[in-house]
Amino acid sequence: MPNARTKLFGVIGDPVGHSLSPVLHNYFLKKYKLNAFYFAFRVVPANLEACVRGAWAMGLAGLNVTLPHKEKVVELVKFRSPEVNLLGVANTLSMREEGVAAFVTDPAGFMASVQPMQTHFRESRVVLFGAGGSARSVAYALSKMGTRELTIVNRTYDRALQLSRFCTEQLGFRKVSVLGMRDPGLNDHILGAQALVNATSIGMSPYVDYTPLYDFSAVSQNHFVYDLVYNPVWTVFLREAKKKGAKVQNGLDMLIYQGLESLQIWMNETYSIARNELNALRIQLSTELQT
């Protein structure tokens, strides 16, 4: 039962009704026997500053931040982690006595989720779809994993060019190329790549019939294809890549690991999840998506 010592956590976004974060985090809180609860709060952009100030004033323990607030929230906090300062986005807020501290757990979540496939990223070329905050976090993670060449594919060329400059000037990539989604040279870049990563929202429910890649003829069994989207579990991007023999993975594991990283920040403790528990949690989250 809740009491005066119960910690309160939550996720803020707009929309937020589809979020799996309450299911995920309440699973963790129960597993680790923590006196806490986690909720979802719809916060429209106009109310973001009031929300952050109010959460700190009321003594909430921490918040996750999802779209469309990941960039704007950085301006509203007192402390920022080095990764937040570098990437300009935050998805985790820790309410501390001296003020609100911001962190970004997406890079750690991505790296943990692809650990079994890390050979596809070390000293390799990766084709990255997207140029927003998620793509920036993935690019940072790729740089930490030893990826040396990157092809950025995006609908808006100027934004992709900005990310390209960031990758070469700040992250140390050896070579970065920028292409449009229908660029005729894209297949050549795919043929020379070891992994493809979708860091856009294309294919996310309810727009399940869309994919960031239109021509899968260059995809083969030599590729690892990763989609940050996890709703639906099987996007068109993953289904078509699997037909070509590629190894594929959705974003559920990234969600789980970045959530675990957030909990560690809030509680200042180290937590882990065993492989069999990870499989059970995947099933639970996938079932939740279908309800």
pLDDT, tens digit (0-9, with 9 covering 90-100), for 224-243: 999 999 989 999 999 999 99
Kindly indicate the confidence band of residue 191, based on its pLDDT and cuts at 50, 70 and 90.
very high
Does 288 score more than 90 pLDDT? no
Range of the domain at 117: 108-250
Q: Are residues 262 and 240 in the same domain?
A: no
**Count of domains for the chain:** 2
Radius of gyration (Cα) for the chain, nearest Å? 19
Active site residue 72: no
282 & 153 share domain: no
Return the structure tokens found at 56. 């700190």
Among 95, 112, 111, smallest CA distance to 103 is for 95
Q: What residues pair up with 92 in beta bridges, in sequence order? A: 64, 103
Which pTM does this prediction carry?
A: 0.94
Q: Clarify whether residues 220 and 120 are in a common domain.
A: yes
Q: Which of 70, 144, 175, 242 is catalytic?
A: 70
- Dihedral sign of CA atoms 199, 205, 206, 212 in order: positive
Mean pLDDT of the chain: 95
In this structure, what token pair is assigned to residue 29?
A: 């809180």
Q: Is residue 2 part of a domain?
A: no
> Token digits for 232?
């639906």
Q: Is the pLDDT of residue 75 over 80?
A: yes
Q: What is the CATH number of the domain that holds 33?
A: 3.40.50.10860
Do 232 and 125 share a structural domain? yes
Residue 153 lies in a domain: yes
**What are the backbone dihedrals phi and psi of residue 60, each rounded to the nearest 5 degrees, phi first?**
-60, 150
One-letter amino acid identity for 104?
V
Alpha helices by DSSP H, listed for the chain, are 21-31, 48-58, 82-87, 106-113, 133-145, 157-169, 186-191, 236-243, 252-267, 275-289
